[in-house]
Chains A and B, each alone.
Chain A
Amino acid sequence: MTCNEAEILLHAFLDGELDAGHAREIEGHVATCPRCAAALRVYGELRAAMSRSDLRYVAPDSLRARINGMFPAATPRASNRWTLFNSFMLGSALSATAAASLMFAVVRSDQDQMIAGELVSAHLRSLQAERLIDVHTSDQHTVRPWFNGKVDIAPPVVDLAAQGFTLVGGRLDFIDGRAVAAIVYRRGGHVINLFVTQGSSFGRGSTLKTMHGFNVKLWSEQGLYFGAISDINADELQEFEEKFEAATR
């Protein structure tokens, strides 16, 4: 790789947008070229300064009020809990953008990849402090009704403790701009997020992907779409799907 090529690509590298092959080439080039290594470091620092500086222009409450005021008052169907959750999601969606931006390589474009990327982001987000679980219980009969009115499906919830996957709770999450049910399991010290939606953006058929060290398993069953993600190995995740499907059938 020449310095001219590296000059453009190191930005994509810095932004986590390069596919693995090009990323390795950049790493190789930077290791042997002090000039490009210095440039990479400086751009990283410049970017950090931009995110630290107060340049993000916080939207004033008056603007939110103006926009809310544009609409005729809606019949309040949503509970306060829901409203609170929405405001919370706004905050976490912003902080999650950094994680989300890591997910895409320049050359990748297929829908599965996009969804897998979103699942990885959501998974990472869920592992941040106190984001994992909204309803904390190993009782499947508590988790399932909790989703009533929050998502447009009644997700199947089963405890698989006997099969080695312990149900720990549920959470509302957003994938591809849409509310989805997230059911949380643990296997040993590992967290498994199982996302359930009826949105067809998850794609049909069953696929297993590895992304940023996480395994992502997508499948569909009886009109519902499932995405399981964890840092457990691929075989165990496959086993999780089989046990889950067997228990819900």
Chain B
Amino acid sequence: MSPNDGRERFETVVAPYLADAHAYARWLIRNRADAEDVVQEACVRAFRAIDQFSGSNGRAWLLTIVRNTAFTWLKEKRAEALVSMDGLNESERLAVERGALLESSTSPEGEMIAAADADELERHIAALPTEFREVLVLRDMRGLDYREIARITGAPIGTVMSRLARARSMLRTAWLATEGQPI
């Protein structure tokens, strides 16, 4: 493969998804400059491996590389940033359960969410444990489907579903708590 071929493959397979890669890295790393470094490093890895890409889903492929790069980076730079899947503490667990019990048929909370201040929402999403945050970002902000998310995160589809359910439930609870609404 000539360098030009590799470059052209990169342009078709990887380049269209830089925006996804950047947003994903940004939400995983939570720091702008570091996230950009991670995307660049992921692009270097993608370029080196481009002839191994068999051509079914460039976006999922790139995001898998971004994830690996980001997690390697996190492990090296700040080991404490990774929260394990079952690492919810008691109060978080209770918050999830209380959120699930919430009843509201007239949905004033819906209107409140609709008026949500983006900064507030961002803060709540950033506060989610990594495993929950990433499925939320991939699904609700980047629009990937469950199979793609399962492939990228290396988790079964059932796990993707339950993480997404928990992520949204936690987000909803956190949002209501800041607003001082009765839960």
Contacts and interface: CB of A to CB of B under 8 A. Distances in A.
A71 B19 contact: no
A11 B103 contact: no
Given A51-B140, A70-B47, A94-B19, A38 B103 contact: yes
Nearest to B167: A11
Contacts of B57: 176-177
Interface residues of A, number: 61
A137 interface: no
B179 interface: no
Contacts of B175: 46
Contacts of A12: 146, 161
A39 B4 CA distance: 52
Given A8-B165, A199-B55, 6 more contacts: A43-B172, A46-B172, A66-B36, A70-B47, A98-B143, A109-B147
A101 B22 CA distance: 20
Contact of A89 (B4, B16, B122, B136): B16
Main DSSP-derived SS at the A contact region: helix
Nearest to B53: A177
Nearest to A117: B145
A43 B146 CA distance: 17
A35 interface: yes
Nearest to A12: B161
A93 interface: yes
Interface size on B, as a range, is 35 or more
Given A67-B43, A97-B142, A57 B23 contact: yes
Contacts of A109: 147
A186 to B, nearest CB: 29
Interface of A: 7-9, 11-12, 15, 17, 34-35, 37-39, 41-43, 45-51, 53-60, 62-64, 66-67, 70-72, 74-75, 77-78, 86, 89-90, 93-94, 97-98, 100-101, 103-104, 106, 109, 176-179, 199, 201
Which among A70, A78, A103 has the greatest number of chain B C-beta atoms within 10 A? A70
B51 interface: no
Contacts of A38: 102-105, 107
B125 interface: yes
